[in-house]
Structure 1
Amino acid sequence: MASIFSRIVSGEIPAYKIAETDDYLAFLDVFPTVKGHTLVIPKKEVDYLFDLDDELYLGLMKFAKQIAPAIEKAVPCQRIGVAVVGLEVPHAHVHLIPMNSMADMNFNNKLKVSPEEFSEIAARIRSFL
C-alpha cells in the first residue's frame, strides 16, 4: 500500500505545496511543531532515509537546502532546524523546522493551524523561492 506521502505525490491527497521537481516535493506538515514546519521528500517511495541511493539522498539534501532559506525569510526564526525521525510515515523525509528555541523541535507538541493559515504560510514561503 502506498504511503500517505506517495498519495500526496500522486495528487490523491491534497497538500500545501512549497516546491516540486521531477524527483522531490516540499510541503507543509499538517501536524506542525511550529508554523512553517515543512517536509521534504523524494517522490520515489523508500521507507528509510539511509536506504536511498547516493544520488537520490544527495539530491534530497540539496533540495532541502534550497527550501530552508525561503522558510527562514517567511517565518521569523533564528534558524532552520533539520530532523529525520522516520518512524511516523514509512517514506523517507526530512523535517525543516523554523526554530527560536529547542522546544520548537518537540514532536510531541502539535500546533493547530487553520486551512487559511496553512495556505498563507505556504504562499509566503513560495514567494521567497
Structure 2
Amino acid sequence: MSIFTKIVNGEIPAYKIAEDENFLAFLDVNPNAVGHTLCIPKQEINKIFDIQDDLYLGLMAFAKKIAIALEKTVPCKRIGMAVIGLEVPHAHIHLIPLNEMDDMRFQNKVSLSNTEFEELVEKIKENL
C-alpha cells in the first residue's frame, strides 16, 4: 500500500484541497514552491499511463480545476505540471506555481509551517 493510499484512507494526515469520488488533491509536504500540489486517483495505480482512459481524462480535468484555483491563489507566472512517479508507486500529477524554470527542479525546496500550510489550503479552497 502506497503512502498516497494511506492518505486516501485517512491513515496519514494531509493538507487536502479537494476530493471527489475518484480523485484527491493535497499540498506536497516537501514542496518545490509555495502551493506545490499533488493530484492523485484514489485508486492505487502505479504508472500514470496504466490508468484507464476515462479515469485518466478525469484526473486531467480534476488537475485543471485545481491548477486554475492555485494560480488565482499563489502569485506566479503559470502553473507547471509534471508527472515523474519514481518516488511513490502511485500515479500522481505535480502542480507547481512557477516564477522561473528552476521552480520545476525537484532539488529546490521551500519550507512552510503547519499554520502556513493550513492557511494556504483555505485560500486555494476559496478559489475553487
Q: Could you say which residue in structure 2 is the equivalent of 1:73?
A: 72
SS, match of residue 117 in structure 1:
helix
Q: Deviations over 1:55-75 (max 9, x none)?
A: 111100010011111000110
Amino acid at match of 2:87: E
Determine the structure 2 residue equivalent to 1:21.
20
Q: Distance in 2 between matches of 1:49 and 1:124?
A: 29
Residues 52-109 of structure 1: per-residue CA shift (max 9 Å, x gap): 0101111000100111110001100010000001001000000000001101111012
Q: Percent identity?
A: 62
Question: C-alpha displacement at 1:111, in angstroms?
Answer: 1.2
Partner letter of residue 71 of structure 1? L
**Alpha-carbon offset, residue 110 of structure 1:** 1.7
The one-letter amino acid paired with 1:25 is: L
Paired position in structure 1 for 2:2: 3
Distance in 2, Cα, partners of 1:98 & 1:122: 14
Q: Which runs of 4+ in 1 moved over 3 A?
A: none
Give the CA deviation at 1:122.
0.8
Question: Equivalent residues in 2 for 1:1-129 (5 A)?
Answer: 2-129=1-128
Q: Secondary structure at the match of 2:38?
A: strand
Per the normalisation by structure 2, the TM-score is 0.99
- What CA distance in whole angstroms lies between the structure 1 residues aligned with 2:106 and 2:84? 9
Amino acid at match of 2:102: A
Gap regions ≥5 residues in structure 2: none
Partner AA of 1:5 in structure 2? F
The separation in 2 between residues aligned to 1:101 and 1:109, in whole angstroms, is 12
**Cα distance in 1 between the residues matched to 2:47 and 2:24:** 17
SS for the counterpart of 1:41 is strand
Q: Which amino acid aligns with 1:115?
A: N
Equivalent AA in structure 2 for residue 7 of structure 1: K
The answer for unaligned runs of 5 or more in structure 1 is none
Number of equivalenced pairs: 128
